[in-house]
A and B are shown apart, each in its own frame.
Chain A
Amino acid sequence: MENALLEIKNLKKAYGEHIVLDGLDLAVNRGEVVVVIGPSGCGKSTLLRCVNALEDIQGGEVLLDGEPVRRGAKDISRLRQKIGMVFQSYDLFPHKSILENILLAPLKVQKRQRAEAEKEALELLDRVGLKDRKDDYPRQLSGGQKQRVAIVRALIMHPEILLLDEITAALDPEMVHEVLQVVLALARSGSTMLIVTHEMAFARAIADRVIFLEGGHIVEESREPRAFFDRPATERARQFLRTFEY
């Protein structure tokens, strides 16, 4: 894996005595869409949070383009600009309009010109069908609309990789589709993504590779998502997938 964009090596993460990730290795190549699934509490969110150093880690390392991403490091702001993240719950800034939410980081972190950044913001908003809502505040938007704005807010930074943590889990079913459509379009345009989801049909449609996480380890990994979802190799993955059947 010479051209891996993201490399996670022997990652160890524990909360006190409770070990969540126990020496995890994972590499994500440019343009690849990796979907992480696994039972609740297995450490999927923790994994994503370690990737952009929102958590202290107890061992191992995370490399982006070969550069270590470390919590508290001097260059962490520069590295985080290359890592876009969207969370499960609405993380928009409630005191800022949609446009200001999107422009905050380009203007203050990347020091871009307002006119140029605003033009791009409007193009991106247009792409997710929300251009006319630019002056609204987050509370005036539906859950699905807020998540689309959160995606735009991450995209305008031109991240090299996007981390999506169950971005539809808090949405009403009829809004899940509109958000997943946006993500699907990004995948088709070649974005690199590390996605955690409970939407198995979506995982199957979007994944280049599926990772099944449990007990702090990768239990099963497949580059054939269709095959994986039809006939998982391990008994644990089979049991897990069965919980989605009715």
Chain B
Amino acid sequence: MQSLGLDVLFKGKNFVRLLGGLWVAVRISLISVAISIVLGLVMGVLMTGKSRVLKAVFRVYLEIVRIMPQIVLLFVVYFGTTRVFGWDLSSEASAIIVFSFWGTAEMGDLVRGALISIPRIQYESAEALGLTTGQVYRYVILPQTVRRLIPLSINLITRMIKTTSLVMMIGMVEVLKVAQQIIEANRKTSPNAAFGLFAVVMLLYFAICWPISRLAGYLEKRWA
């Protein structure tokens, strides 16, 4: 039988290295999502506010993020700004900046959507019961906003994890890059390793993203 090259996986520290690469991907996503949630909350609240200028600025920002491929942003930040401003930005820092720039726009829009989707009657019936403004937000508005946001932000995490495969283009060694390196190193001894390793990478992405997206689906149903 033709070897699938899976033996390579268990040679030396190869599997551990792969997991290490996966952790890089997950780490970048988690840090970026954490930053995005904080900044996105601020942006979302500001977007529901009165200032037209701010709203226009955020609209433009959102459009730019949506239109621009992430890879272009990565190149601009990692190769472009380091040259122009002469600062020393690691590839991981660049990746986090770009992913947060993207995530903040998405989160901001999600927060805005969640806030405006809560009907005015929810504020009013709570006020009519004698709740103070602080209590209205604490017990009535925020719990509903968060329930709407959690599944959506979980989706954002999985999309980010998938998109992290791009960071090898700016020299980061994440799971896909590790797989490539292992394949290169074993080109002679097991030429079929590409199949086995990339299949394993696929399974790893699946193992991470599937539970997360199931969780999102579950929460969505539970809190609908």
- Which residues of A approach B to under 8 Å, CB–CB? 49, 52, 54, 77-78, 80-81, 83-85, 87, 89, 91-95, 104-105, 108-110, 150, 153-154, 157
Residues of A close to B147: CB separation below 8 A: 95
Tell me the minimal C-beta distance from A6 to chain B in angstroms.
Answer: 15
| B128 x A108 contact (CB < 8 A) | no
| A105 x B129 contact (CB < 8 A) | yes
Residues of A close to B132: CB separation below 8 A: 77
Q: What is the chain B residue whose CB lies nearest that of A93?
A: B140
Q: Which one of B122, B125, B129, B143 contacts A157 once the chains associate, using CB atoms below 8 Å? A: B129
| A93 x B122 contact (CB < 8 A) | yes
Specify the main secondary structure of chain B where it touches its partner: helix
Q: Which 7 A-B pairs have the closest CB atoms?
A: A91-B125, A105-B129, A81-B130, A85-B128, A80-B130, A109-B130, A77-B130
Complex formed: what's the CA distance from A43 to B80 in Å? 62
Q: Which one of A81, A91, A108 contacts B139 once the chains associate, using CB atoms below 8 Å? A: A108
A-B contact pairs, 17 of them (CB 8 A): A54-B124, A77-B130, A77-B131, A81-B130, A84-B128, A87-B124, A87-B125, A93-B122, A93-B144, A95-B144, A95-B147, A105-B129, A105-B130, A105-B131, A108-B131, A109-B131, A109-B135
Complex formed: what's the CA distance from A80 to B127 in Å? 8
Tell me the minimal C-beta distance from A95 to chain B in angstroms.
Answer: 5
Complex formed: what's the CA distance from A199 to B222 in Å? 37
Complex formed: what's the CA distance from A210 to B138 in Å? 40
Complex formed: what's the CA distance from A109 to B140 in Å? 13
Residues of B close to A104: CB separation below 8 A: 129, 131, 139-140
| B126 x A87 contact (CB < 8 A) | no
Q: State which residues 103-150 of B face A: CB under 8 Å.
A: 121-122, 124-132, 135, 139-140, 143-144, 147
Tell me the minimal C-beta distance from B140 to chain A in angstroms.
Answer: 6
B85 lies within 8 A of chain A by Cβ: no
Q: Which one of A54, A93, A154 contacts B127 once the chains associate, using CB atoms below 8 Å? A: A54
Residues of B close to A84: CB separation below 8 A: 128
Residues of B close to A87: CB separation below 8 A: 121, 124-125
Max count, chain B CB within 10 A of own CB: residue among A92, A95, A104, A150? A95
Residues of A close to B121: CB separation below 8 A: 87, 89, 91
| B223 x A95 contact (CB < 8 A) | yes
| A80 x B129 contact (CB < 8 A) | yes
Q: What is the chain A residue whose CB lies nearest that of B143?
A: A95
Given contacts A87-B124, A108-B135, A109-B135, is CB(A157)–CB(B130) below 8 Å? Answer: yes
Residues of A close to B122: CB separation below 8 A: 91, 93
- Which residues of B approach A to under 8 Å, CB–CB? 121-122, 124-132, 135, 139-140, 143-144, 147, 223
Complex formed: what's the CA distance from A81 to B135 in Å? 14
Max count, chain A CB within 10 A of own CB: residue among B128, B131, B132, B147? B128
Complex formed: what's the CA distance from A154 to B129 in Å? 7
Residues of A close to B135: CB separation below 8 A: 108-109
Complex formed: what's the CA distance from A54 to B131 in Å? 12
Tell me the minimal C-beta distance from B179 to chain A in angstroms.
Answer: 44
Tell me the minimal C-beta distance from A22 to chain B in angstroms.
Answer: 24
Complex formed: what's the CA distance from A105 to B140 in Å? 11
Q: What is the chain B residue whose CB lies nearest that of A94?
A: B144
Q: Which one of B127, B130, B140, B223 contacts A78 once the chains associate, using CB atoms below 8 Å? A: B130
Complex formed: what's the CA distance from A91 to B124 in Å? 9
Q: What is the chain B residue whose CB lies nearest that of A153?
A: B129
Residues of B close to A77: CB separation below 8 A: 130-132
Residues of A close to B124: CB separation below 8 A: 49, 54, 87, 91
